Structure 1
């Protein structure tokens, strides 16, 4: 009988412990479950996971756009070299100039204006891969070297 009583007491204590634990679990589950018109925790997590997936897709799309834009920028004229000089010894003021305008690949042109007392002449020479198909004057060569020496994106 004592053994049966001891088993009954132990069973009662075990039942109380389980009852307390079940109450705590229900309380914790209420946080996860929708109540009072609120969205459930599981639904919130699922929605946030979908939003993160959509953001990842957006980031991947933006990365592709950045690569395309960078490719376009590389072909844009970004490097400029300017040399001003006196084309004739009897004139001052450095009114003549050569300006080289090239992209990251060395493609572009050199614009040269030679200023004299009564007239000005303007010449354009095409540049491909940092080289001209025609002979360049020393001033044009200097302008091209100055342009090609610039770091992409650098400002002077």
Structure 2
């Protein structure tokens, strides 16, 4: 057996150099296996990269990516514009007449048909007007209107006008 000052210094004086040689050989073979496996992975990655770049030059791919970013900015700004437009439309829609009630009736029960009518038009907040057109047997037509605020008239309504108002108030529930 061979004596070594180095083995003595590190506390391995009784170690057989053949065992140390075998351990180092196994580690070296393991390192080569890892290098070969990493080489295969690198080849696969290079093949995927080549396939990805196939038919495209790197410059055209960069232009494509820059174009997508530009398109994305345009879409975002258009989306913001649409959002503002929708908010504006909703504000205007609240003040437009959305609820309508029409009641046709025979004002004087003359069997001449239902030529008189009460028309109620309300906005989102139940504000609007009621238009009443009364037709009599002489062929005369009288029209008048009543203001409606929060679904209530400040003037008393006839039964036909009340039905027109009720129809308008219920028109969004249909």
TM-score past 0.5 threshold: yes
Match of 1:100 in 2: 120
Q: Which has the larger radius of gyration?
A: 2
Q: Distance in 1 between matches of 2:147 and 2:110?
A: 30
Q: Match for 2:84 among 50, 54, 64? A: 64
Q: Could you state the TM-score of these two structures normalised by the residue count of structure 1?
A: 0.72
Q: Distance in 1 between matches of 2:56 and 2:72?
A: 27
Q: Could you state the TM-score of these two structures normalised by the residue count of structure 2?
A: 0.66
Match of 2:160 in 1: 139
Q: How does 1:2-151 map to 2 (within 5 A)?
A: 39-40=60-61, 42-118=62-138, 119-151=140-172
Long gaps (5+) in structure 1: 1-9
Shift of residue 144 of structure 1? 0.7
Is the helix fraction higher in 1 or 2? 2
CA, structure 1 residues 78+16, in 2 after alignment: closer, same or farther (shift >3 Å)? closer
Q: Distance in 2 between matches of 1:90 and 1:24?
A: 96
Long gaps (5+) in structure 2: 1-28
Shift of residue 32 of structure 1? 7.8
Question: What's the RMSD between the two structures over aligned residues?
Answer: 3.5
Deviation string, structure 1 residues 118-155 (Cα, Å, up to 9, x no partner): 11111111112111111111111110110111128x6x
